[in-house]
Structure 1
Amino acid sequence: MAESIDEEMPEEALPLQQDLTCPVCQGIFRDPVLLPCSHSFCRDCLQRSLDFNKKCPLCRVEFERGQDISNRALSDACETFLKHSTFRPNTKRPSEDTCNLHYKPLELYCEKDEEPVCVDCVSLHSTHRLFSLKDGAPMCKRELNFKVQIFEKKVELYKKTTLKLSNAVEYIKYQAGQAEKQIKVEFKRLHEALVTEEALRLKALAAEEEEKIAAIQELITSTNNNVTALNELIETIKNEMDNDDLPLLRNFQNLKRKAQWTNTDPALSYNSLLDMGKHVGALSFKIWKNMQAHVKYNPVVLNPNTASPWLSLNADLTAVKESSERLTVPDNPERFDPCVFVLGAEGYNSGKHRWDVVVGDNPKWIVGVCKSTVARKKKFTLSTNRGVWSIGLSKGEYTASTPERTVLQVEQRPERIRVKLNIDKGEVSFWDGGTAKHLVTFTHKFEDTMYPILGPGLNATPMTMAPGKIAVHTS
């Protein structure tokens, strides 16, 4: 900081003093620096000025930090002047109401820099509008009051958002309860099917066990009868052998005829034992294969978090219809509102995919695919330009969602619409799922993730995602 001369100087020294005075602090230069615009300032004064902007305090020409250089000639002149002059350092310290640069009262307000200044700062703000503190304070209060109003509105908005978030928490709990209920229902059904399968297999095992044991028991009985008959024959022969020679010889031929045994020797037959391969071989696979009758596969299931509040989905997310009243659901970003649509739960960005939608006799519906970025919170016309490739029925007319609304010629009213999506080939085609008749094909380079989209219209008849076929392949 420069030092100021408080005592009166000789009249002839005043011009020199003015030349050696810093225009900012109004004191003799101390460690002066020179700017590219040729103006000089105390190094500390310039540093304070840089806190506001990077312009020369006098001519307001911009400069970069580091372009200022030490003005050694001016510094030497100031030191010489101070040595031969009577002075005392300025020991005043700025207060809160005093300018940090000039130590004078802050009496003005700069509208551009939005700060109070002293009268000596006027040269630093020559192009700015300056007001008295009395006039400047209301201006600042008006602006702050406007900010307060904005913040108060935000407080109200945040309170409403907090309520919505609390409702979302309750809805998540409701979803968890519904999911838990559905999981238990499905596992109970499958468990009952497994118990039934187990009972049938145990019954078949017991039946074969009983059959095989009965066959062997019959063979044991037959063998025991043969043993008895053989023992009787042996006793008869032994008794005859004890006779005299002549009676034995006379009866030999008859005795020889009696000593014949034509019965088959007892032995286990083929397949006498249990067929273990039939009962326990690859048992889990056989059970799984038989469980196909109890398992339903859907290529597409619906995402309830995207469904319009006017749509109601069934428990396993395979059917959608109009709700009799607007449902209380969170206003999450992915939900359609006000448009009455719902998306599939899975998106596709490669490969081939196919699914059928049962539209039945609904008088109005939309079936197709759309980009993940399709609009959710505003009404829009379905079109390929909007990222939707679909066909629909409305007022008895079938149309494709081209920008010009292409009318489709349909001879027989389809009750099932088949959608074939080939991402790699860039095609999505629509077919009559009952007659396999082609309706229309769109071509496009699909670079976004594509989702099935349904619009059942406002009618009570549900649209249903048809189950797919299950095939077991082994190798």
Structure 2
Amino acid sequence: MAANFQQGPSCPVCLCVFSDPVLLPCTHSFCRECVRRNVSGSCPVCRDPYVEEQALSNRALREACELFLAQNQTQNQTQSPSLTGSSSEGTCNLHLKVLQFYCEKDEEPLCEDCVCLHSIHRLFTLKDALPRCKNELNYKLQIFEKKRESYQKKSLKFRQAVDHIKGQAELTEKQIKEEFQRLHELLHKEECVRLQTVTNEKERKIAALNQLIDDTNKDVIALDQLIDSVKKDIQDTDLNILRNFQSFKRKAQWTSREPRLSHDSLLNVGKHVGALGFNIWRNMQSHVKYYPVVLNPNSASPWLSLSDDLTSMKESSERTTAPENPERFDPCVLVLGSEGYASGRHKWEVMVSDSPKWVLGVCKESVIRKKKFTLSPNRGVWAISLSKGVYQALLAERQQLEVPQRPERIRIKLDWDKGEVSFYDGDTSTHLVTLTHRFDERMFPIFGPALHSKPMSLAPGKTTLHT
């Protein structure tokens, strides 16, 4: 039990047990030394004046104090040797007396002379204080043991996260290599086609020139014969030359066209290598898809399964072992786009097909991730949904949408600067609803395919080449 020393025989001045107590004319008692040191000439309690000679020895009070100290000494001697032994560890460093009490506020053991310094504190005997201290330490020990267990579990999860990162890297590297391999094959095929085109043109142009060479050589032979004929006529007699001049002149005629290179006789090098990289890239557009939005697997609910190219999502047959990172939705079955927007206008489309339940829209980056919540602008989500055949705008008070026909493609337009997010039937461009808000942080596309629903996929965007 606690020892209450506030009502013990203590001096009002020094707050210690009376030492040689004296009684003043006003009937208040003090230690003789405290009276001697009082220079005010008035009682410290009631302020009545007195002279030191009027202080009388208070024998009754002195005997009560001695009895009180004797009882405490007897109680001290009955304590356990481990607590009140005569070794230096069981004595007060200040008064060199045996430690007998324990201060609850200052949390330290005291001797009998220390008691007056802690008179307003709650004190215990050492025997009573020990189990209290041990209980508190045991309580802390239990906390630390539970915390250690929690840390061990977290360490296991961190190691699992390391394995997950390795798996992510392995899959990513595989996809990169496969995509580059596909592009390499396309490039190799394009290279072969272009090289074959050069070869075909080269062979065609060379064949034309070889034909021109053959024709020219035939003309050279014909000219040789004509030259020999003219020389022979010139060597005839003078009279015969004059008589047969018209005949000789008619024979000395050359009617063939002068051989020359045609305008397209050489290889069209510019056609083959001019802007080669650009032309190859332009021809490869039909082999490459562009997605305005792709999914962020680090935000996907453990109950969702994403495609390797991060363009479609569906329910997972069992809870995945994905790490419990802060970005991940759990337990809500949601996933975000990989890129957020803090300005500008953006557009993407989602193929919902005939899925009976879904949620589409945008949300703040600070949206709740680790507990269930109602999707609404109050929670940082601007979205529409389909559930039980009813289309709704997910406002604080749900707004039912009039949809003429069931859309298989939903188009979402975000104008961050104007604070608008609009929804359309992607097939007919019919406007469904526009939600407004003054956005003040980065906004992310949000998708909720829901459980037991068919897969939803992102539609590729259209690309236009301007030159």
Same fold (TM over 0.5): yes
Counterpart amino acid of residue 229 in structure 1:
A
Q: Please tell me whether residue 236 in structure 1 is matched to residue 229 in structure 2.
A: yes
2:266 is aligned, of 249, 264, 273, to 273
Q: How does 1:80-229 map to 2 (within 5 A)?
A: 95-229=88-222
CA drift of 1:250 comes to 2.4
Shift in Å, 1:403: 0.7
Matched, 1:356 2:345: no
**Residue type of the alignment partner of 1:354:** K
Q: CA–CA distance in 2 between the matches of 1:460 and 1:393?
A: 11
Separation of aligned partners in 2, 1:17 and 1:121: 18
Identity of aligned residues (%): 62
Contact 1:383 1:389 in 2 (8 A): yes
The answer for the alignment partner of 1:393 in structure 2 is: 386
Tell me which residue corresponds to 1:296: 289
- 8 Å contact 1:362–1:459 — kept in the other structure? no
Q: In structure 1, what is the Cα distance between the partners aligned to 2:452 and 2:267?
A: 60
| Correspondence list, 1:402-417, <5 A | 402-417=395-410
Corresponding residue of 2:368:
375
Instruction: Tell me how far apart the structure 1 counterparts of residues 34 and 385 of structure 2 sit (CA, whole Å).
Output: 91
Partner residue in 2 for 1:305: 298
Matched position secondary structure for 2:90 = coil
CA deviation string 1:184-209 (max 9, x = no partner): 11011111110011111111111111
Cα offset, 1:19, TM superposition: 5.0
CA contact (8 A) 1:456 1:463 kept: yes
Q: Give the distance between the partners of 2:404 and 2:138, measured in 1 at CA.
A: 69
Letter in 1 for 2:313: V
Q: Say if 1:127 and 1:151 are closer, same or farther in 2 by CA, change over 3 A.
A: same
| Aligned pairs for 1:420-459 within 5 A | 420-459=413-452
| Secondary structure of the corresponding residue to residue 113 of structure 2 | helix
Q: Which is worse superposed, 271-280 or 312-321?
A: 271-280
The CA distance in 2 between the partners of 1:16 and 1:374, in whole Å, is 73
* 1:225 partner amino acid: K
- Alignment partner for residue 249 of structure 1, among 239, 242, 262? 242
Aligned-CA RMSD value? 2.0
Separation in 2 of the partners of 1:142 and 1:272? Answer: 105
Displacement of 1:449 in angstroms is 1.2
| Per-residue Cα deviation, 1:82-111 (whole angstroms, up to 9, x for no partner) | xxxxxxxxxxxx944333333322211111
**What's the secondary structure of 1:112's corresponding residue?**
coil
CA distance in 1, matches of 2:336, 2:362: 9
1:117 maps to amino acid: L
1:75 aligns to what? Answer: none
Secondary structure of the structure 2 residue equivalent to 1:367: strand
Q: Which residue is 1:6 aligned to?
A: none
Aligned length: 391
CA distance in 1, matches of 2:459, 2:114: 81
The residue identity in structure 1 corresponding to 2:216 is T
Distance in 2, matches of 1:288 and 1:20, equals 104
Q: Deviations over 1:333-391 (max 9, x none)?
A: 11111111111011111111111111111011111101111111111111111111000
Deviations 1:231-270 (A, max 9, x none): 1111111112222222222222112111111222112121
- In the other structure, the counterpart of 2:55 is none
What's the secondary structure of 1:349's corresponding residue?
Answer: coil
Cα 1:473–1:20 shift into 2, 3 Å: farther
1:346 paired with 2:342, answer no
Partner SS state of residue 120, structure 1: coil
C-alpha distance in 2 between matches for 1:105 and 1:425? 80
Pairwise CA distance, 1:213: 1.3
TM-score (norm 2): 0.80
Find the partner of 1:258 among 251, 261, 264.
251
1:176 and 1:269 map into 2 onto residues whose CA distance is 60
Of 123-132 and 361-370, more deviation after overlay is shown by 123-132
